[in-house]
Amino acid sequence: MQKVFSVFTQNLAYYNEGYITGGWIDLPQSPEKIESYLKDVVKIDEEHEEYEIADVDEVPFPYESIQWSNLKDLNNLAIIYNSLNTFQKEAIAGYIETAGEEHYSVDELINICLQADSIHYWQYDFDGIESCKDFSLNLKMGYTMAEETGLYEKLEELGVTSYFDFEKYGESYSYSHELLENGYLTFDDCDIDFDMYSEDEIQEEVNQILKKSNEMERRKDCTEELYL
C-alpha cells in the first residue's frame, strides 16, 4: 500500500523511567505489521501498555487528533484515506481547514473520509487553467464563475473581456465561499454525520479495502511471473 504519512510512536511507561523506546513507522500497514511493530519496536507489554504518537510526518490531519490515538485505529484511517482519489482528499482538507476544529477523534476523521462526496467542494475550472497555477485565488474563482454563469461568453460577444476585473469578480464570491488552492467550498452545511459509520462498519470498510489491495497485489505478482 502507498504511504500516506509516518508516525513516531513512543512507549510512555519507558519514557517515565527515563528511556526513549519507540520508532518511526509508515502508514498504512497490514494489521500484522502493526502488531509486530507495537511489540518489537514500541515494546508494548502488560507492564508497559501506554504509548503516545510523539511525532508525525506528512499527516493530513490535526496533530491534536493523532497524538493520543490508538495506532490500530490510526492505521485504519490511513488505509481508508489511501483509497480516496485526489479530489476527495482536497475536499477533506478543505473541510477540516474551514471547520476550524482542533480536535477530532480518529473515528470522526474516518467518518469524514467516508463521506467525502458529501462535502460541497468544487475545483476551479476554466479554459486555460493548466497555465494559470500562479493566479491568485480570487482570479481563479473569477474566471471559474464567469465561465460557469455564462458571463465570460457574454463578455466575449461584446469584446470587453480585457476590460473586465475578474479578480474583483472572484473576490465577491469569497464572502460566501472558502477559496482554497485548487478549488472552493461553500459555507453551508456539508451534511457530515460523525456517527454515520460505527466501529464495526469502519472495520468492514477496512477489510474490504485490504481484500481488494491483496487481490491487486496477487494479480501483479502473477503478471510479473509470466514475463520472467
Q: At 97, is the pLDDT very low, low, confident or very high (cuts 50, 70, 90)?
A: confident
Instruction: Indicate the pLDDT class of residue 209, thresholds 50, 70 and 90.
Output: very high
Q: Report the alpha-carbon distance of residue 106 to residue 104 in Å, rounded.
A: 6
Specify the pLDDT at position 2. 84
Condensed to tens digits (0 to 9), the pLDDT of residues 194-206 reads 999 999 999 999 9
**Residue (of 27, 100, 18, 102) closest to 70 by Cα position:** 27
pTM recorded for the entire structure = 0.86
User: Distances from the Cα of 198 to the Cαs of 29, 101, 102, in angstroms?
Assistant: 22, 21, 22
Cα–Cα separations (whole angstroms), residue 57 to 43, 129, 191? 22, 31, 30
Q: What is the mean pLDDT of residues 61-75?
A: 95
Q: Which three cell numbers stand for residue 119?
A: 462535502
pLDDT at residue 225, rounded to an integer: 58
SS3 assignment, position 23: strand
Q: What is the DSSP letter of 67?
A: T
Closest C-alpha to 129, from 112, 148, 115: 148
Exposed e or buried b per residue across 60-80, where buried means at least 16 C-beta atoms within 10 angstroms of its C-beta: ebeeebbeebebebbbbbbbb
